[in-house]
Structure 1
Amino acid sequence: MAIRRLALQSMWRLSGEQPQKLRTQWWQQFLEGEFPPALRLELLELVQSSDQPESLAWWQHYRQKAQEQEVWPFATAVLEGGHLEAGRDLFLNRAEIACLRCHQIEGQGGVVGPSLDHLGDRLSAEAILEAILEPNASVTPGYISENVVLHNEEEWVGVVTQQDETTLTLRLATGALKHLPLVDIAERLPSLSAMPEGLMESLKTSEVRDLIAYLKSLKKR
């Protein structure tokens, strides 16, 4: 695969009729979904960064179409070809995304978000990407946060774990439980998913692909 990636890069540095024909053929295959999935990101990034006239036109049209459809331009290019171990390292150690703060894998991590054990058995790569891009589009039942405003103007955000006749219990982002007397509550509002939006801003496109490779590998052994 590394050799094929190098061949792609080399072809975008060459001039002449034959390289141009080959680039056009590859781009058409990309648009028709026939280009090798594991190399789609490399091809798209070459088109995006190239100053060749045909590549500039291809990227402009492709990006415009993606904007019209309200989809991320790289959405179909990060589903295959990622490095599993690199994705695992991102998940476990990248402070900017802090996945383990909220999610558990094999008993380790937070409990604010749903466990990701066997995630690859439950969700497709497309669904995993959607959860990263739009965490509030579909929230797992039992993990919907509430914003609770008290009469003294304090605000608490967390997942409701229990409520009885006198007390509301929230699980905070830290994992701690907060017990709030119902008589102290002025307002309860639905909150956003505990999973932060804008994760893409902390990751390179290739890192998104690596993260998806790791997450979709989480299956029953």
Structure 2
Amino acid sequence: MPISVELSFWGTIVTLVMGIPIGIITAIKANTWVDTVNMSVALVLYALPSFILAVFVQLLVLWIDKTGIGWPISGWGDPWQYTWPDIQYKLVPILTYGAAGYAYYARLTRTTMLEVLRQDYVRTARAKGLLEKAVIYRHTLRNAIIPLITAIGLLLGLLVTGSFFIENIFSIPGIANITVAAVSQRNYPVIQATTIMVAIGVVFGNLISDILYGLADPRIKTE
């Protein structure tokens, strides 16, 4: 579990740090070349299943490795240790995990931002002479973030099990390996434990979402 949690945690950080800012930028630059390029890349990444993307990344690393760098394409290293050899093992799987989710959050952020940017109160804020940064971050983003919170809650719920394909392709000794082995061996207790863990994670993610709703919008009352 520590390995799966580490992979999912850093992959989720990469997903959100890349996806949400790029979604905001593409919404602000809608119908420009910036929007076209970013959304084209996001569409390609979104259309590729994570296990196909992982194989492509491995092939790319092997092609680059012809120079003799010796970059590993499987394994993980020591959990929660960040020496240079550990980083070499972890960097590619984490970026692959983040890229697979980045496309979804970039597109979702762009869609919700564009919807809010067309509202009357945004035009009023601009007509009053507010700085564009204030319009974007204080008025637009705060109202556009509600759908993102819902998606983030589900992402937190599937934090550990969301890396199954990545772990299998990169031969990472996490929860995915024992779960896949349990399915092939009909080891029902392990399968049940994984299922219960997913259920607990989803409930916990929904709870976090409900709490964040109240912080993002005071009009939403949480009990």
Q: Shorter-chain-normalised TM-score: which range?
A: under 0.3
TM-score (norm. length: structure 1): 0.22
The higher relative CO (CA closer than 8 Å, separation ≥ 6) is in 2
Structure ranking higher in helix proportion? 2
Structure ranking higher in strand proportion? 1
TM-score (norm. length: structure 2): 0.22
The structure that has the greater radius of gyration is: 1
